[in-house]
Structures are given as C-alpha cells and as structure tokens.
Amino acid sequence: MSRKSYVRGSTEVALTHDTIGDYFDRVVKTHAHHDALISCAESIHWTWQQLHQQVQLTAAGLLAIGLQSGDRLAIWANTSSHWLVTQLACAKIGVILVNINPAARPAELTEQLNAVQASALLFQTQFKSSHYTQMLQALFPELQHQNVTQLHSQTIPSLRHLIQIEDPAPTGMISFTQLQAAGTQLDPQHLHQAQQKVHAHDPCNIQFSSALGTFAAPVTLSHHNLLNNGFFIGQQLHYTPNDRVCIPVPLFHCFGMVMGNMACLAHGSTIVYAEQSFDPASVLHAIASQHCTSLYGVPAMFVSLLDHPDRAHTDVSSLRTGIMAGAPCPIDVMQRVTTELHMPEVLIGYGMTESSPISFMTATSDPLDLRVSTVGQVQPHTQAQIVDEHNQVVPIGTVGQLCIRGYQVMQGYWQRDDLTQQVIKDDWLYTGDLARFDEDGYCQIVGNIKDMIIRGGENIYLAEVHSFLRQHPAIDDLILFGVPDPRMGQELCVAVRLHSSHSLDTDSLRQFCQGQIAHYKIPRYVLCYTEFPTAEHQSTKDLLIADATIKLGL
C-alpha cells in the first residue's frame, strides 16, 4: 500500500511566544551597537540602538495622538526607514498595521480602509507619477477646514489621522516629525504599560490577498505568526548578526515585511534597502558598498541584475545566499545566480499571505535541480497534506490540493468569518494550489485550482505546460488558458510573445512538444504576438482570451 501525501516538520527548535516588541527589545539589548538598518537612498545607517530610539518615539507618538491597542493604522508607501519604524512601533503598542499597495488608487484605498475600519493612514507625499498627498486632498476636500488631529469624513468614517512622512504636512494632516515630537511629550510609563498589554496571539498585521480569486480579502496575522515564520526563514538561510540582507522586494508584501524585515530582526541581521522600489543599478551598488551577504527577489529581478551593464564591474563576492520566490525559476537562471551573482546557497520558498507566508523551503544542501523543480520540504512546526476533491489524502506522487496546518496559519480574514470558513477547515488551510509530494517529502507545485483545465476528462495543470513551453527558443513570454470545445469540453490555447526576429506557428510548436509532454497537454491553438495587448482595467489574460474568441471563431 502506497504512503499517503502527509508530512510534518521538525519540532526540535521551540516556537517563541514573545511579542514582536519584546523580542525586538531583547535584540537591541544584545546587539545595541551592531548595524540594524542601512537605507542607501536615505543615507541612513542605524545601529539597533538607534533604530530602537526611532521606534520608541514613533510608538509614543501614536499613543499621543490617541491610537490604542487594536486600532488599525494603514501604511501607503514604498520602501523606506519609516516603513520599518512604523511596523515595529505599531507592534510595540498593539496597533494593527495594514499594508496598502503603493500602486493602489483612491477607489481601492477607500475600499480597503473601510474594510478594516482604519483609524489612521501613514503615506508618502509622492513617488514617481503617484501624488499621494494630492489624491488624499481630492478624496477629502473637507481637510482644509478641519482640525489636524481629527478628520471626520463620510468617505471613510473610521479615519481620524492622516500622517504624511515628509515635512511640511498640509492643512488637516500631521507629518512624521510632528508625530514623533508628540511622542516626546508622552510619559514613558504610558508606552511601557501599553507594551505590557500586548500578547503574542494578538493580531498585529493585515495584508490583502487575492487567494480567493474574487477580491482582495484582509488577512489577519498575529505576532506569533510573523515572528516565528521570520525566525525559521532566517534559520534556513543560516542568518547571524554578521549577515547583511539586501531587500529590494516590496515591504507591503510578506516577502519584504516577513521574509525580509522579520527574518533579519529574529537573528539580529542587518537590513539593507537600496531604493524605494526595485532598481537594478541601485541594488548592485548596495550589494557592493554594503557588502551584502544575502539578496532577495523574484526571478525577473535576478535576470535584470544579471543582464545589467553594471554587473560586469560590480563586486558581488560578499553574497552567499538569498531567496528567489514569487514565480517558477528556470534552471539556467538559477545556475547564473549561483555563479555570476556568487550565491551558491540561494533558496526557493513557497507560501501565501494566509500562511505568514512560508510553509515549504529548499535547503542550502539541496542540489540545483531540486531547488528549481520543487519548493523544498515542509518547515518546522508545520503539517502539510495533499487531498483530492473528496477531501481524502492522496498517495505519494499524486496531484491534489495542498493543505497546511501549524502556527503560521492566519487568524482569518478580518471580520469575514464567511470567507475564513471557505479556506480554513478543521484548522487546515486549503491553499488552492495543486501539488504533489515525492518519497522524500519534496513538494512540487503544479498549478492552482483556478489554473487547471479539464480536456476530455484529463486534468491539465497550466504551470507544468508553461514550464516546458518556455524552453522554446522563439518564445519570450507566454500565457496559457482554456477555450471551449464542444467535444472535449476545453482545449488548450497558448498566446506567445516572440523574441525579435523569431517566428512560430502551431505546427512547429506542436512538433516541439511531440514526445516530450503528454499528447493531451500539447496546445491545440497557438496565437503569436510581438507585444501582448494591454488595457487599464483588464488583465492581459482576459484580453488574450477575448482576442482568441474572435480569432478562433469560438
């Protein structure tokens, strides 16, 4: 009888039951004069003691303007020292930090702030073409007539405070400097008492996830979720206080905030920010000038670094490790990263916002082929199983839905029990991802339930086909989707963006696939583009499906 697809991680290293604030204080006490944060664009170079001073002032300021434990403060900004300081300051006093994508527009901002009944919003004045202050002034025309500390608006009834990072703040808002100045007037005992009332299982963060596939749902995460996940990520990377981690991925995602900030905090490692958003030249400069030992990114970021003109004369010899996540990594990219970027210990991680995020990760000892074909093994204090459509655990090697159980599973979607019950059942988080385990417990993600089509009774996992087709030398990028078919139910269609000076047709692509992948996985239709269509309010995939419907006469 074959083994079932169930694995559980080691419990050798105990979970911490500290709050983020208490843990942070201990790190500061132990490593007071070690480097904590280097923000190259801001010319900031803080020790843990200096970071602690900024966090204490900010936490006191938040209390001084009236925020209390359980209140929600949203942050709408790109990477900066203020992001990290605010993250830790909120955790200190029990205020729940709400991550807003800097790309969000006023309508999206309004919807998300109302979804969590936010009391305060911290934002930057401007980034590139995004004028945040101007957008808020247009959203709240009453600002010019109101007291700076008490906003009252029908648009977002819960919102009371608008905190602009830069000086000076316009009428109706306060600046970060003013916030910290208010903190200097607070009795230090009030801050101490507020911190003592915070518990490890209290919510400390809300992030919006699209895992449900319908709209952005507010994922509620606790100190216990985030601090432990950060610790075990750092442990997998062998972090010590001597590591300097370059984090060019966004902080509003778990990748930057947890895998980056929290992993560094948990091990006393130095956080390095190159720029407000990803810029390959700035990242290369930060690696060389700050002697970074670790680097994060999605595969496309690493490709940008490898192909950048500055790479040839940039010293990256200090690097040894890092994390590549967010998308499948081709083995040729992984090979170049390990050699040309001097990162032999680069790892792959898998997770989702609802699991804080990491549940599977490769190890530094894993061979390269395992680091690109799987997402590694289950992590400490985590159980995982793969189930079929009848909720039965499937045999090893069989594809099914991946389910996770452990300390990192979210508390739920904020005030949406109906949504929570769709994805958490009997303490198991149903990820929506299709996966299989091998005999050694390595997990291969083969797609998402939403990214599977059924052709004549055969399940086709789009991620598997995508991984194979992208090897074709003519293909620069591709998008797969199902189209209706009266006989088979669905047929597979691929839209490909071609490299310049290359051509491709259906027959040649099908010949490329013949004998390499199962016959039913070979696309029936091939549509070629020099550029994919774009539109402001529609996804590229939706546009391609609409185009295919017309061109194929479906």
Q: Quick one: pLDDT band at residue 457, thresholds 50, 70, 90?
A: confident
**What's the pLDDT score for residue 446?**
86
* Choices 3.90.110.10, 3.80.30.20, 3.40.50.2000, 3.30.300.30: CATH for 456-551: 3.30.300.30
More confident call, 235 vs 456: 235
Lowest mean pLDDT among 150-164, 318-332, 454-468: 454-468
Buried/exposed 131-146: b ≥16 CB within 10 Å, e otherwise: ebbebbbebbeebeeb
What separation in angstroms does the CA of 226 have from each of 16, 17, 222, 526? 11, 11, 6, 44
Is pLDDT above 70 for 1? no
What percent of the chain shows pLDDT beyond 70?
Answer: 99
What percent of the chain shows pLDDT beyond 90?
Answer: 82
Is pLDDT above 90 for 212? no
pLDDT digits 0-9 by tens, 22-35: 999 999 999 999 99
Is pLDDT above 90 for 327? no
CB 484 within 8 A of CB 490: yes
d(CA 274, CA 246): 7
Is pLDDT above 60 for 319? yes
The token duo for 550 is: 């017309």
pLDDT digits 0-9 by tens, 395-451: 999 999 999 999 999 999 999 999 999 999 999 999 999 999 999 999 999 888 878
Range 546-554, long-range pairs (CB < 8 A, 24+ positions): 547/495, 548/481, 548/483, 548/493, 548/495, 549/483, 551/527, 552/483, 552/493, 552/525, 554/483, 554/484
Strands 400-406 and 174-175: unpaired
Q: Quick one: pLDDT band at residue 167, thresholds 50, 70, 90?
A: very high
What is the radius of gyration, based on Cα positions, of the chain?
24
**What's the pLDDT score for residue 146?**
64
The token duo for 515 is: 């004998």
| Residue 229: closest CA among 359, 346, 96, 327 | 359
pLDDT digits 0-9 by tens, 49-69: 999 999 999 999 999 999 999
* Choices 3.40.50.150, 3.40.50.980, 1.20.200.10, 3.40.710.10: CATH for 20-32+45-199: 3.40.50.980
**What's the pLDDT score for residue 223?**
98
The token duo for 481 is: 């989707």
**What's the pLDDT score for residue 213?**
64
Is pLDDT above 60 for 390? yes
More confident call, 453 vs 137: 137
Lowest mean pLDDT among 135-139, 193-197, 215-219, 337-341: 215-219
Angle value at C-alpha 479, between 259 and 328, nearest 5 degrees: 30
**Domain spans of the chain, in order of start:** 6-14+207-448, 20-32+45-199, 456-551
pLDDT digits 0-9 by tens, 352-368: 999 999 999 999 999 99
Residue 126 one-letter amino acid: Q
Is pLDDT above 70 for 214? no
The token duo for 3 is: 């083994």
d(CA 254, CA 42): 23
Residue ranges with strand state E in 49-104: 72-76, 96-99
The token duo for 257 is: 């905030």
* Choices 1.10.940.10, 3.40.50.970, 3.40.50.300, 3.40.50.12780: CATH for 6-14+207-448: 3.40.50.12780
| Same fold yes or no, 6-14+207-448 and 20-32+45-199 | yes
Lowest mean pLDDT among 205-209, 365-369, 457-461: 457-461
Residues facing residue 324 across a β-bridge: 297, 348
**What's the pLDDT score for residue 455?**
87
Is pLDDT above 90 for 453? no
Average pLDDT, the chain: 94
pLDDT digits 0-9 by tens, 502-529: 999 999 999 999 988 888 899 999 999 9
Which secondary structure element, helix H or strand E, spans residue 423, and what is its range? helix 417-423
pLDDT digits 0-9 by tens, 463-489: 889 888 999 999 999 999 999 988 788
CB 98 within 8 A of CB 71: no
Q: Which of 381-395, 473-487, 488-502 has the highest mean pLDDT?
A: 381-395
Task: Taking residues 491-500, report their average pLDDT.
Answer: 94
d(CA 181, CA 196): 23
